[in-house]
Amino acid sequence: MSGIRIAVTGTPGVGKTTFCSTSTINTTTVEKMAKEYNCIGGIEDDGAAPIDLDKLASTMEWPTEGVLLVDGHLSHLLPIDAIILIRCHPTVLRERLSERDYSQSKIDENVECELIGVISAECLDSPCLELDSAIGPEAMIASAERWITDGFKPRRPNEGIDWIDQIHGDD
Ligand code: ADP
Ligand code: MG
């Protein structure tokens, strides 16, 4: 396989960085690339620095060999070949985000995004593997490696994770 780019995306806190750092596959982050290519703005009121994704997508040079994981909740918006989408049950995500230096509204906003599947709705144009972080990093990596080796098949999950259905399904 040569020059394969795989976005590792998902709501903040789902486990992207843990997944990438446990994997033996080469990894970069959207943030690191944005800094390297001067595509990052100043810190805004909410503590986040805006990234110029269009500029990054058009200026960045990608490796021509091997597989590269791109860690970041915006990575699926870059010109990538495939997407690994990590999901996390909203209740677990809320606990994880409470450990961070996030405002209550930022926690609520991210939990809501995960609940309704905002990022999964943005991952329709590339082969996408959806992984529930509940199975743990090692099992997630084994599943991802199999999927990559199989040429990103199946192209999409048969039934994507729907937290609302899982939480309210019996109502
Ligand atoms: P992200 O990079 O998506 O924001 P992190 O990898 O930083 O998320 O993980 C957020 C928190 O969740 C960390 O405390 C991490 O230890 C924990 N975590 C990540 N992945 C898992 C997992 N698969 N199972 C259990 N805990 C996890
Ligand atoms: Mg991270």
Average pLDDT over residues 85-95: 98
| Position in ligand 1 atom list of the atom nearest CA 99 | 14
Per-residue pLDDT band for 131 (boundaries 50, 70, 90) equals very high
Q: Please indicate whether residue 133, judged by its CB atom, sits closer than 6 Å to ligand 1.
A: yes
Please report, rounded to a whole number, the percentage of residues in the chain having pLDDT higher than 90: 88
Q: What is the pLDDT of residue 5?
A: 97
Give how far Cα 73 sits from Cα of 14, 77, 165, Å.
10, 9, 23
Q: Please indicate whether residue 90, judged by its CB atom, sits closer than 6 Å to ligand 1.
A: no
Q: Please indicate whether residue 117, judged by its CB atom, sits closer than 6 Å to ligand 1.
A: no
Domain range list for the chain = 4-160
Per-residue pLDDT band for 42 (boundaries 50, 70, 90) equals confident
What would the pLDDT profile of 4-26 be if each residue is shown by its tens digit? 999 999 999 999 999 999 999 99
Q: What is the CATH number assigned to the segment(s) 4-160?
A: 3.40.50.300
